[in-house]
Amino acid sequence: MYCSLVRKGDFKRVFDSGRKFSSRYLVIYALPSGLDFSRLGLAVSRKIGNAVTRNRVKRRLRESVRKRLAGSSLRCDIVIVARSAAAEAAFADLDRMVAKTFAGLINENNTDSDRTII
């Protein structure tokens, strides 16, 4: 489960302190939040295209994130910035990038919680 990340200060904190993952279509920033749920913020500029195109990209990204977070123990703030190539990308390509990033985040999150600090 996730909710929306909407405040400018929250976006700025994730951009400044979060881990960055880049691909041809997306730039994904992630920062552990300490909350009981994840929050998602989308940045899809007018460079992507008209309103119909931007909304289609956002719907695809939300669906991909929803699938990845269902039943996941990942608790972080995530900001996804769409690049201009995302407008022409197939859903499978966007989904693959999100899946790859989330697999790394979940693995990293599980590894960090298993470490003991002496």
Give the confidence band of 7 by pLDDT, cuts at 50, 70, 90: very high
**Entry pTM:** 0.86
Of residues 59 and 3, more confidence is placed in 59
Instruction: Give the N- to C-terminal CA distance of the chain in Å, as an integer.
Output: 33
Predicted confidence (pLDDT) per residue in 83-116, tens digit: 999 999 999 999 999 999 888 887 776 655 443 3
Of residues 2 and 80, more confidence is placed in 80
In whole angstroms, how far apart are CA 89 and each of 3, 25, 53, 62, 86?
A: 25, 7, 11, 15, 5
Is-contact 25 39, C-beta < 8 A? no
Q: How far apart are CA 53 and CA 38, in angstroms?
A: 26
pLDDT for the residue numbered 112: 52
Question: What is the residue extent of each domain of the chain?
Answer: 2-111
pLDDT for the residue numbered 113: 46
Any idea which fold 2-111 has? Ribosomal Protein S5; domain 2 (3.30.230)
pLDDT for the residue numbered 101: 87
